[in-house]
Amino acid sequence: MLFRPGGRWLRPLSVLPLGARDPPLVRASAGGIQRSAPPVWAAASVSAVASGGPGSWYEALATSAPVQGTEEALLGVHSATGLPWWACIGLSTVALRGAVTLPLAAYQHYILAKVENLQPEIKSIARHLNQEVTVRANQLRWSKRVARLTYLKNMRRLVSELYVRDNCHPFKATVLVWIQFPMWIFMSVALRNFSTGATHSEGFSVQEQLAADGILWFPDLTALDSTWILPISVGIINLLIVEIFALQKIGMSRFQTYVTYFVRAVSLLMIPVAATVPSSIVLYWLCSSLLGLSQNLLLRSPRFRRLCRIPLTKSDSDTPYKDLLAAFYAKFISRK
């Protein structure tokens, strides 16, 4: 029996027991602060386990090639621009976000949009596949367990073929995380090396420069922010990013709900952590979070999405910012 979900003819099922080398049940077409030095515990808070000596894992990370490369890049920006260190940190963050993170985030949305557009076809195939497995299970007197496992095995194969056909495997959407997180780690460790005097440039101490190149209430970038303004700001911005993500998801699965709660907890945990590291690091975290928030909002713009050639989906809105404000009001204000 042939069926034609999504407008494509698929060959009939050939269901065999799980132990046999069964062919695919369904085949889809494959076409296509005066400065006082921070206490030892504070200076080492980013690497609480670094007390293991020169052979510790943190020592290896702090002296690794990526971290040294990041230090050289930061020194290059400072030397080329002549800006104070607080501005260099901000400028470097903008450059990294604009040149690396934003394109990858747009690519992530591109992949996710294609996956979303595949869902109707996947649901249609799943429905027909379930019918075919039910008929074959009755004919061959399979148990419910065998029928269920056979269905899942063949459905995984089918979905994989669809992802290959449209070149949109969901794993590609994780590239952003695998690049952004290490980049965040390398920048944080490089700034810690600067702030604790672990790095010296030719003829001057980077630590001494950072101690005099702060701004506003944190004139010393090697000291802790005793006012807690920077740490609390980091936590609030990160929470705002999480809530924006949650508001745009309707009917989240249990797993997505658990992940959302976990990220909320991490955002709150970042506040006391940020209060124990030099202000240079917290300034970078704050700049990165602010740019991340701006990036998330930008990627909701229909015009920007068209510019990035992100496919239209059923969940797209012509007024995303108005919808976001309405959802925020309904969740946090009107219910009170």
Helix, strand, coil percentages (3-state) for the chain, rounded to 5, are: 70, 0, 30
Pairing of strands 200-201, 204-205: antiparallel
Burial 145-179 (b: 16+ CB within 10 A, else e): ebbeebbeebbeebbebbbeebebbeebbeebeee
Q: How many CB atoms sit inside 10 A of residue 29's CB?
A: 12
Q: Which residue has the tokens 């506003």?
A: 216
Q: How many CB atoms sit inside 10 A of residue 54's CB?
A: 8
Specify the 3-state DSSP secondary structure of 215: strand
Average pLDDT value over all residues in the chain: 81
Q: Please, which pLDDT band fits residue 247 given cuts at 50, 70 and 90?
A: confident
Task: Give the whole-angstrom CA distance, residue 71 versus residue 199.
Answer: 8
Tell me if 179 sits within 8 A of 104, measured CB to CB. Answer: yes
* DSSP string covering 45-104: GGGTTGGG-TTSHHHHHHTSHHHHHHHHHHHHHHHHH---HHHHHHHHHHHHIIIIIHHH
Q: Please, which pLDDT band fits residue 252 given cuts at 50, 70 and 90?
A: low
pTM of the predicted protein model: 0.76
Task: Give the whole-angstrom CA distance, residue 158 versus residue 150.
Answer: 12
**What does the pLDDT look like over 119-151, one tens digit per residue?**
999 999 999 999 999 999 888 888 889 999 999
Task: Give the whole-angstrom CA distance, residue 140 versus residue 143.
Answer: 9
| Choice between 66 and 7, residue whose per-residue pLDDT is larger | 66
Nearest-5° Cα angle at 267, 263 to 271? 160
Nearest-5° Cα angle at 287, 283 to 289? 115
Task: Give the whole-angstrom CA distance, residue 279 versus residue 194.
Answer: 11
Q: What is the pLDDT of residue 124?
A: 93
**What does the pLDDT look like over 260-309, one tens digit per residue?**
889 889 989 999 999 999 999 999 999 999 999 999 999 989 999 999 99
